[in-house]
Amino acid sequence: MSATSKITRSHLDRTAVVYVRQSTLAQVREHTESTARQYGLVDQAVAMGWDDRNVQVIDTDLGVSGRSTEGRDGFRALVSRVCLGEVGAIFGLEISRLARSSADLSRLLELARLTDTLLIDGDGTYNLADFNDRLLLGLKGTMSEAELHLLAGRLQGAKRAAAARGELRTPLPVGYLHDDQGSPVIDPDEEVATAIRDVFAAFAAAGSAYQVVAAFAGRRFPLRAYGGAWAGQLRWGRLNHARVLGILNNPAYAGAYVFGRYASRRTVGPDGSIHSGITLLPMSDWQVCIRDHHPGYLSWEDYLSNRAKIAANRTHTGARPVREGHALCQGIIGCGSCGRPMSTRYHRNGAAAYECHARKDQQATPTCRSVSSHAVDEIVVERLLAALNPDEVALAFAAADEVTNRRDRASRAAELAVERARYDSDRAERAFHAAEPENRLVTRTLETRWETTLAALAQAQAALTAAHAAAPPLPARVDLEALVTDLPRLWHAETASARDRKRLLRTLIADLTVLPETDRDKIRIGIRWHSGATDEIITARPLPDCPLAVAVSVREDDRPIVGEARRRLRRGGDEPRTRARSGRRRATGGHNDRMGHREGC
């Protein structure tokens, strides 16, 4: 059947659509001949019988890949018009211009078959109602998708090979430039380099990205523009939290060359739409990591330490970083009755209290309570400073040595398993390389055996890593010795802030627990030290420090004084009367005292 015989009056009365597409903007800019040929299909449609007023060009997908329908408004508009039966024929240079995905192309071909729409390219005219035409177009669509896969595989393979050598050039972060040989070097602009160094210095001092932003308030920060009219230029602006995190997490500042930090992920929405996104991979999944590749602003150990600090600041993962406020145990104190953490609540008079979360959720147990932060902090600090006498430190050293020995014995089995798995893997590799490559009957078996030993080695290494990660870190002996003389002096220094004291406290204390206590006049506190030792302290619960409560806390024989106090308060209006009644209930052991709100003055 000839091409002209497939075109009927029904096709000519409908619209002929010329679909124009190029995969990238670089192709649109540089391959102008291909674009001109696609626009020239308008003349071919007119020559085949369509009126020039019935020929429409869809070119909104110029510079968009045909890998999927995401972002291809022109293709979606074409499919919609085909469904409505408005299109008589679709023109294109080749079938791959319509879609590189055989799934998308098959859907378009099915719709074209149902609406009697022709497809016309450089090889001929296709009527989808004809089985042979439908089979041929399906085969060309599959070949187009396979071609895209092969091209992408070759390009990605070349990129990975260059990256493995550290030679793949990528945009450098601000603070670096490429020299004449193409190697990364620190920016010779002293203002730029100083700004980057000050970011790391501020984070080392404050330990928080938000504190770094506060330290740069009113100071400009450099930005290297990539793409657009400012490509390659140095711009100056304000330092924000996202940029601080980007700098701290970027291994390039530690002198490392990294490839494969991010991966593209495609997800399907509830409505069937496909969304693409970029996911940050863990360090173990980076494809290439070459240390000491170029000069760095900090060492690799400092970079890992910064990452650990950032992870410890993420409260949504359960971490409890140091915050503002004078409550020293904030974030590391929990309720021993229900097991939930205790939050810090500040009153208008500046007093603070640790309150169990279960009280807010109305799920408190009979022994859940709210305790004054001053009462807890005073006892904990006293115990902390008392623990730094020579006898206690000697016991701490002995305990740390015992814990270290115990951990070494526990992890020794995992280390031996890794050593055994590595030996088996090396032996299987030597056997594989010793075999003749032509003898596939033998090499296939040896290759399978080698892959099995490699999998066993990976499992053993993962078990060893998990064993090391499960154990909490122990303070270094040098740090403990320094704390014996430094901590008391630093603690009582006038320049020490609440955040500094919290950090010093957490150096030795892992967490605290308000243990269940039936006697409301007492507080029982459990302390867990980083060394693994635990302490339990029972102390009297102090009365609230409230002047109004003291004024009305009187004996029975002092009732005239109470009456006079009430009269004085009533002359001040309704609000003082309410406070007087509230204070009297606290002072006389009323219902607020029984509910555990004695510190709520």
Q: In this structure, are strands 509-515 and 352-356 parallel, antiparallel, or unpaired? A: unpaired
Query: What is the DSSP code (8-state) at residue 96?
Result: G
Identify the sign of the CA torsion 95, 99, 100, 102.
negative
Cα torsion angle, 566, 567, 569, 574, sign: positive
- The first and second tokens of residue 70, run together, are 């995401």
Q: Which of these is catalytic: 23, 373, 425, 531?
A: 23
Q: CA 369, CA 541: separation in Å to the nearest integer?
A: 12
| Dihedral (CA of 392, 398, 402, 403) sign | positive
Q: What is the 3-state secondary structure (H, E, C) of 148-167?
A: HHHHHHHHHHHHHHHHHCCC
d(CA 93, CA 80): 21
Torsion of CA 303, 304, 307, 308, to 10 degrees: -140
Q: Assess contact for 511 and 333: CB atoms under 8 A.
A: yes
| Residue 43 Cα distances to 18, 54, 78, 126, 129, angstroms | 10, 12, 20, 19, 26
Indicate the angle between helix axes 477-491 and 373-386, nearest 10 degrees: 130
What the block records as the tokens of 99 is 């879609």
- Tokens 């080749």 belong to 94
Active site residue 68: no
How far, in Å, CA of 557 to CA of 560, rounded?
8
Distances (CA, A) of 578 to 116, 221, 349, 401, 492: 85, 54, 17, 60, 40
Strand order in the sheet with 352-356: 342-346, 352-356, 370-372
Q: Which residues pair with 512 in a beta bridge?
A: 333, 527
Q: Which residues have CB under 8 Å from 321's CB, separation 6+?
A: 207, 208, 312, 313, 315, 331
Angstrom CA distances, 201 to 196, 415, 448, 482, stand at 9, 37, 51, 22
Spatial CA neighbour of 461 closest among 494, 425, 512: 425
Which amino acids are annotated catalytic? 23
